[in-house]
Structure formats: structure tokens, C-alpha cells
Amino acid sequence: MAPKKSFKDIISETTIDDIEEPDATKYINLLKDKIVIDQFPLKIKIIITSEFATPIAFDRIESHYSHPAKVVLTQNNLSKFYDDLIDKFKAWVDQFQERGSGLPFVIYCDFEACNIPMQSCTPDPDKSYTKPISKQEINSYGMYVHSDYPEIYKSQYFHYDGDDVVKNMWKKIMSIFKK
């Protein structure tokens, strides 16, 4: 009778941290070359930690991709596993980049308004109704633009009161992003 194997004897974890390749397909192929598999069937799970540069050249964001665990029966199944890994990892990278990957700017805005009384007709008491009694008219705003990088954009507070408050606010926001 063969001796029983412990959990530690059948589980292995490998960390590969020396691949620097910006192309996802080339990265997975380099990773594939470093993983040594000497027996089948096996259950494999790959977690990839990536570092992304933000639009600000000196800032980087770390993120993790966890590929679903798969049981691989043969070398052919392993090739299919890697093809699936490439497709899903590339889609994940694209999605991560579309989200903006952490741009460090926030706009806080607050409006002030006056309640202007409204004239309305008497509602029918036999029916359900909502009776408007006032209209809010925006007359000013305060806006704080926060920046984690003052060398690119200095945090500022803006205040405006007057005509076309909302239009003025959007013009101000658009002028900030054009810089």
C-alpha cells in the first residue's frame, strides 16, 4: 500500500516576478515558458499582478487579475487554457484602461437656490394631486477642484453668483479640463 500524501505534497505555488512585457500575448507566452508542469491531470489557477502607468508619468497603479481555476487533463488542454488566459487577460487590461485607472482629480460642487412662489389653480379635491407651491431658482455655486498633483493642476476654489449659473459652471469645468 502506497503511503498517503499530505495536502502539502500535492499543492504547489509558484511566484514568477521577473517578467516585464507590456504586450499581454507576449507576457503570457513568457509566463508559459517559466511554468514547469510535469504531471497531468492538474488543477491550475493563475493570478497576475500588473502595474499600470497613469497619465501622469511618475505614478503607477497595481492591480490583480485572477483567472478561474481549471482542471487540465493533457498538454493539449494546457494550450487551450493558455489561449483562454490570453483572451481574458487582454479583455481585462482593456477594461482596466477604459476605466481611467485612477485619475487623481475630484470636483466638489454646491449650488444655492431661492424658492420662488408659484401661482397655480385649485386642484380637484376628488382626485389625487401634487400642488407645486414654489420653484427653485439657482443663484450661485461654489466649486472646489482637488488635485493630488499640484505641479500639474493646483487645487482651487471657485464661486459664482449671477445670471446663467449652471451655464457658467459648465464653462468653468470645461476650461479646467482643457488645460
Kindly report, residue by residue over 105-131, the tens digit of the pLDDT. Answer: 788 999 899 999 988 777 788 888 888
* Amino acid 56: pLDDT: 55
The per-residue pLDDT for 3 is 66
The grid coordinates of residue 175 equal: 476650461
Instruction: Determine contact, residues 144/172, Cβ cutoff 8 Å.
Output: no
pLDDT of residue 142 exceeding 90: yes
Of the chain, the percentage scoring pLDDT greater than 90 comes to: 13
State residue 87's pLDDT score: 93
Mean pLDDT of the chain, nearest integer: 82
Instruction: State the virtual CA torsion across 74, 23, 102, 58 in degrees, nearest 10.
Output: 130
pLDDT of 57 over the 60 cut: no
> Percent of the chain beyond pLDDT 70?
87
Within 13 Å, how many C-alpha atoms sit on residue 58's CB side?
4
pLDDT of residue 101: 47
pLDDT given for residue 159 in this prediction: 92
Specify the pLDDT at position 9: 62
Residues 6-20 have a mean pLDDT of 70
Is the pLDDT confidence value at 6 over 90? no
| 33 vs 158, residue with greater confidence | 158
How many angstroms separate the CA atoms of 90 and 84, rounded?
Answer: 10
**Mean pLDDT of the 151-159 span:** 88
DSSP string, 12-77: ----------SSHHHHHHHHHHH----SSSEEE--EEEEEEE-SSTT-EEEEEEEPPPEEE-SHHH
Strands (E), 102-175: 105-117, 134-147, 156-161
The better pLDDT of the pair 61, 164 is held by 164
3-class state of residue 82 by DSSP: helix
The pLDDT confidence band at residue 54, using thresholds 50, 70 and 90, is: low
Give the pLDDT band of residue 150 (cuts 50, 70, 90).
confident
C-alpha cell, 30: 513568457
Q: What is the mean pLDDT of residues 75-96?
A: 88
